[in-house]
Amino acid sequence: MSGYECSGTRIHSRPGRAWLRAAATLFAIAYGANQFSSLMVMYREQAHYSAVAVAAFFGVYAAGLVPGLLLGGPASDRWGRRRLLLPALVVSAPASGVLALGGVAAVSEAALYTGRFAFGVVTGIAMAVGTSWVKELSQAPWDPEADAGSGARRAALALSAGFGAGPLVAGVLAQWAPLPMELPYLVHIALTLVVVAMVARLPETRPTGAFRTGLRVRVPLRFRRVVAPMAPWAFGAPALSFAVQPAALGSRLAGFGLVYATLLTTVTLGVGMCVQSWARRLSPGAGSRLGLAALVAGLLVAAAAAALGSPLLGVPASAVLGAAYGLLLVAGLLEVQRMAEPAQLAGLTAVYYALTYVGFVLPVLLAALAGAAGYPVLLVGVALLASLSLGVVAWTGRA
């Protein structure tokens, strides 16, 4: 096994391969964070939580995610990637353990809120720090053959693969395996232990003291004008697909809600992964506009599925919303990586991801409003908001 020196750290892996281990951390934490998506139906049907309560379990992790992003990203720019990412990866294992306690009636609600909040914190750190680490390991001297868009594509694929595999495996285990409220989380703990061993000796791309920066992030004008208006929809699209559609169609699923939610999650994130390699070939502006247009189309199809009570129509809606997710996520990362100064790459990435996760508030809001307006009307209203964002991005992006 070959090695070489860089930034005072000896790299014990083949040149061009180190990014794979950094990507594995994104996969493992995303896997654990999103396995809850397909289990939401189980908590509604078997644990008898209300739709609003389950949506709150789903969304509370954003409360931990925002500080994880906004503090973890700039901190890693100053003190190094490994010092932030490795502890976050380790903590994700007990976070899954706490969620497994959700099956114990006496502690279930507190455990679910605590575990989801903890996953928010570690996921925020992982997304800001891990994405930056993958990007830096996808360029010289670690991977001199990679092109300029490789880092964004690799990070997005790792996240999407984890976000997709977690709910797929968890949904299958919860439907057909014993211990449905515990076993999915135990599988994630085992996966995490394997990945910790893989990344323990990853090369540090930002050694302590490399940049004497504070924790304040400078946000460029283009970010505020182009990236900010589209960012919430990047994760809003999949949240609307696999968190809102099963709730909107719940009365028509006849006991197969868990399988259906798993199907929609897999379709959404599978399509999102498929479009990401193509999306990086587009300019960020074109990717943003095309992604927002796909979002509007997917929401209208989802509204039709809810109005007609058609689970079958919900599947193509998820596919279109998945395409929107893939396009928007890559477009945003490409914009950030092109405009960020090296000393603030993780910090600006963190700001971007913090905005993307605003989209996860949508299922909670729609669940609370569904009694008054109904899901078909609400989804059309969200489509109108997405159309407004498309107009803003198209207008400001020309400047």
* Side-chain half-sphere exposure of 249, counting CA atoms within 13 A: 32
Q: What is the mean pLDDT of residues 333-362?
A: 85
Which residues make beta-bridge pairs with 5?
A: 10
Which range has the top average pLDDT, 43-47, 251-255, 338-342, 374-378?
374-378
In order, the DSSP letters of 154-168 are HHHHHHHHHHHHHHH
Sequence-ordered alpha helix ranges (H) in 309-374: 311-339, 345-356, 362-373
CA dist list (Å): 198 to 19, 23, 169, 221, 366:
11, 11, 22, 39, 41
pLDDT of residue 2: 36
How far is 187 from 20, CA to CA, in rounded Å? Answer: 21
Mean pLDDT of the chain: 85
pLDDT of residue 207: 64
pLDDT digits (tens, 9 = 90+) for 24-64: 999 999 999 988 877 877 887 777 777 777 777 877 887 88
CA nearest to 40, candidates 242, 235, 322, 241: 242
The mean-pLDDT minimum among 13-17, 87-91, 189-193, 384-388 falls in 13-17
pLDDT of residue 357: 82
How far is 130 from 177, CA to CA, in rounded Å? Answer: 32
The mean-pLDDT minimum among 5-19, 54-68, 205-219, 340-354 falls in 5-19
Cα three-residue angle 244-250-253, rounded to 5 degrees: 125
pLDDT of residue 12: 42
How far is 344 from 76, CA to CA, in rounded Å? Answer: 9
Which of the four pLDDT bands, split at 50, 70 and 90, describes residue 5? very low
What distance, in Å, lies between the first and last C-alpha atoms of the chain? Answer: 50
The mean-pLDDT minimum among 204-218, 224-238, 343-357 falls in 204-218
pLDDT digits (tens, 9 = 90+) for 174-200: 888 898 888 999 999 999 999 999 888
Name the residue ranges covered by the structural domains of the chain. Answer: 11-203+220-396
Q: What is the mean pLDDT of residues 92-113?
A: 82
pLDDT for 167 beyond 70: yes
The mean-pLDDT minimum among 67-76, 95-104, 248-257 falls in 248-257
Percent of the chain with pLDDT over 70: 90
pLDDT of residue 214: 52
pLDDT for 398 beyond 80: no
Q: Tell how strand 4-6 and strand 9-11 pair up.
A: antiparallel
pLDDT of residue 95: 93
> 327 exposed, middle or buried (CB, 10 Å; 0-12, 13-18, 19+)?
buried
Q: Is the dihedral of CA 220, 80, 326, 237 positive or negative?
A: negative
Percent of the chain with pLDDT over 90: 38
Cα three-residue angle 136-139-145, rounded to 5 degrees: 155
pLDDT for 139 beyond 90: no
For residues 14 and 1, the answer to whether their CB atoms sit within 8 Å is yes
* More reliable by pLDDT, 108 or 359: 359
Cα three-residue angle 382-26-153, rounded to 5 degrees: 70
CA nearest to 69, candidates 358, 361, 352: 352
Assigned CATH for 11-203+220-396? 1.20.1250.20
Taking the C-alpha atoms of 393, 125, 201 and 330 in order, what is their torsion angle to the nearest 10 degrees?
A: -20
How far is 106 from 262, CA to CA, in rounded Å? Answer: 28
Q: What is the mean pLDDT of residues 329-341?
A: 89
How far is 134 from 21, CA to CA, in rounded Å? Answer: 9
Q: What is the mean pLDDT of residues 248-272?
A: 84
